[in-house]
Amino acid sequence: MQKKGTIEINSLSLNHLQQLFGEAKIPKYRGEQVFCWLHKFAVNCFTDMTNIPSSLQKELAASFHITPLMPMVKRTSADGTVKYLFGLFDGQTIESVLIPEEDRVTICVSTQVGCAMGCRFCATGNSGFVRNLSSGEITRQVEWISQENAEITNIVFMGMGEPLLNYSEVMDAIKLLNCDEGMALGLRRFTISTCGIVPRIYQLADEQGQVGLAVSLHAATDQKRRQIMPIAKKYPLEELFGACHYYTNKTRRRITFEYVLIAGLNDGLDDAAELVNLLAGLNCHVNLIPVNPVGGLYQRPESRQIESFARYLSQNRIATSIRRERGLDIEAACGQLKQTAGEVVHEDS
Ligand code: SF4
């Protein structure tokens, strides 16, 4: 994929764009027009900006480029979930997922190519880290998909990568998507999911308290957590929960804890009891996720076991939900599509 000008124009804030336009003696209102084309209409080239004179289109193309995002695979599940595999300028690929529900339409986006965190149950974690995405590459996923689905209500940073290890680009992406001249998505519509990067949780609480936080917990003791999440060796639960309490006290927002249920590992009532103790006094919600069997390594518990785990939490006044399984027929778990899509194919028309 070809890039022309050196500056990635769709990573720039409106202010920055207008400043560069000012230095080039381009009228300020042109900055707003260009920003709108990029972030509201997701155009891929300057010649598509029909209210911009062709002389200015050429001038822009000489200095800037627009992040290329090439749809390579699109799979639609029977339950309406749509999974996309996008190609990037350097030949790398990332995944994004559209999740329509009765009361909301969510896009799950990637923030890195691959992931260094190595969670054992995750296809992305098993394939290693390649690079961070730019804010333009992050926002393009939302802008591109929203061209097909106008009613986007929520954005979750829960795709490939650990968002808090690409902190500044993720924050810039949120600002771009929040901008009135772009998609104007309210800050409370964003949720960042982390495996537990403690210093960045403190930073998020101090800098951007309106954005929601989800923490991938998956076990209620350090010993079990270390078995499936290498990050637990760096940040034990005591440190992680110090940061979580700080976040809820500072922002007054509830944290969602994601808990992947794995048969025989973390799905017993003794595990549920440990979890209740751990979460005592914290404004939170637990989202139970039956594990998506990646490579057959882990098995999901029987439905009866999942329900009794959930019931135990609820009876102990922990707000709990069981995530409805979506997109199983299209390999919607993080990293699965990339693994299986060896060839460039368009599966939906
Ligand atoms: S679950 Fe998230 S943090 Fe863990 S390896 Fe997968 S992408 Fe990375």
Q: What is the DSSP string of 83-126?
A: EEEEE-TTS-EEEEEEEE-SS-EEEE---EEE-SS--TT-HHHH
User: What's the gap in Å between 124 CA and the centre of ligand 1?
Assistant: 6
pLDDT over 70 at 347, yes or no = no
Per-residue pLDDT, 340: 47
* Whole-angstrom distance, CA of residue 318 vs CA of residue 311: 10
DSSP strand pairing (105-108 vs 112-114): unpaired
pLDDT over 90 at 177, yes or no = yes
Same domain, yes or no: 105 and 30? no
Per-residue pLDDT, 72: 96
Percent residues over pLDDT 70 in the chain: 91
Same domain, yes or no: 16 and 104? no
pLDDT over 90 at 23, yes or no = yes
* Whole-angstrom distance, CA of residue 195 vs CA of residue 214: 9
* Ligand 1 atom nearest residue 162's Cα: 3
Domain that holds residue 32: 7-65
Closest-CA residue to 135 (of 107, 102, 159, 111): 111
Q: How confident is the model at residue 343 (pLDDT cuts 50, 70, 90)?
A: very low
Same domain, yes or no: 204 and 274? yes
- Residue to probe by mutation, ligand 1, list 108, 120, 124, 215, most atoms within 8 Å of CB: 124
Higher pLDDT, 335 or 71: 71
User: Residue 62 is encoded by which pair of tokens?
Assistant: 């000489």
User: What's the gap in Å between 324 CA and the centre of ligand 1?
Assistant: 20
* Ligand 1 atom nearest residue 122's Cα: 6
* Ligand 1 atom nearest residue 229's Cα: 4
Distances (CA, A) of 299 to 212, 283, 290: 30, 30, 9
Among 49, 65, 81, the domain-final residue is 65
Q: How confident is the model at residue 297 (pLDDT cuts 50, 70, 90)?
A: confident
- Residue to probe by mutation, ligand 1, list 195, 201, 225, 297, most atoms within 8 Å of CB: 195
- Tokens 């995750």 locate to 122
How many domains is the chain partitioned into structurally?
A: 2
pLDDT over 80 at 35, yes or no = yes
Which residue's CA is the closest to the ligand 1 atom numbered 4?
Answer: 119
Same domain, yes or no: 280 and 132? yes
Per-residue pLDDT, 325: 67
Same domain, yes or no: 135 and 172? yes
Among 65, 93, 112, the domain-final residue is 65
User: What's the gap in Å between 160 CA and the centre of ligand 1?
Assistant: 7
pLDDT over 50 at 346, yes or no = no
Which residues participate in catalysis according to the annotation? 95, 334
Same domain, yes or no: 44 and 75? no
- Residue to probe by mutation, ligand 1, list 110, 117, 120, 216, most atoms within 8 Å of CB: 117
Sheet of 154-157, strand order: 70-76, 82-87, 93-100, 105-108, 154-157, 190-194, 212-216, 255-261, 284-290, 319-322
User: What's the gap in Å between 102 CA and the centre of ligand 1?
Assistant: 27
Q: How confident is the model at residue 202 (pLDDT cuts 50, 70, 90)?
A: very high
Where does ligand 1 bind, in terms of residues with CB under 6 Å?
115, 117-119, 122, 124-125, 160-162, 195, 334
**Domain with 190 in it: what CATH number?**
3.20.20.70
Mean pLDDT across the chain: 91
Per-residue pLDDT, 345: 32
* Whole-angstrom distance, CA of residue 259 vs CA of residue 275: 10
* Ligand 1 atom nearest residue 112's Cα: 7
Q: How confident is the model at residue 4 (pLDDT cuts 50, 70, 90)?
A: low
Residues in the chain: 349
User: Residue 339 is encoded by which pair of tokens?
Assistant: 């693994």
User: What's the gap in Å between 43 CA and the centre of ligand 1?
Assistant: 31
User: What's the gap in Å between 117 CA and the centre of ligand 1?
Assistant: 6
Same domain, yes or no: 59 and 188? no
- Which alpha helices (DSSP H) does the chain contain, by range? 14-23, 28-39, 54-63, 123-127, 135-148, 167-178, 198-207, 222-228, 231-234, 237-251, 269-279, 303-315, 336-340
- Residue to probe by mutation, ligand 1, list 94, 131, 234, 334, most atoms within 8 Å of CB: 334
Same domain, yes or no: 198 and 330? yes
Quick one: DSSP state of residue 50? T
User: Residue 154 is encoded by which pair of tokens?
Assistant: 């929520």
The arithmetic mean of pLDDT across residues 317-321, rounded, is 96
* Ligand 1 atom nearest residue 158's Cα: 2
Per-residue pLDDT, 184: 95
pLDDT over 80 at 95, yes or no = yes
Domain assignment of residue 118, yes or no: yes
Among 15, 32, 65, the domain-final residue is 65
Distances (CA, A) of 225 to 97, 219, 236: 27, 5, 9
* Whole-angstrom distance, CA of residue 324 vs CA of residue 338: 22
**Coil, strand or helix at 154:** strand
Q: How confident is the model at residue 348 (pLDDT cuts 50, 70, 90)?
A: very low
Quick one: DSSP state of residue 213? E
pLDDT over 70 at 241, yes or no = yes
Q: What angle do CA 308, 314, 317 make, to 5 degrees?
A: 150
- What is the per-residue DSSP string for 227-250? HH-THHHHS-HHHHHHHHHHHHHH
* Whole-angstrom distance, CA of residue 216 vs CA of residue 277: 17
User: What's the gap in Å between 112 CA and the centre of ligand 1?
Assistant: 10
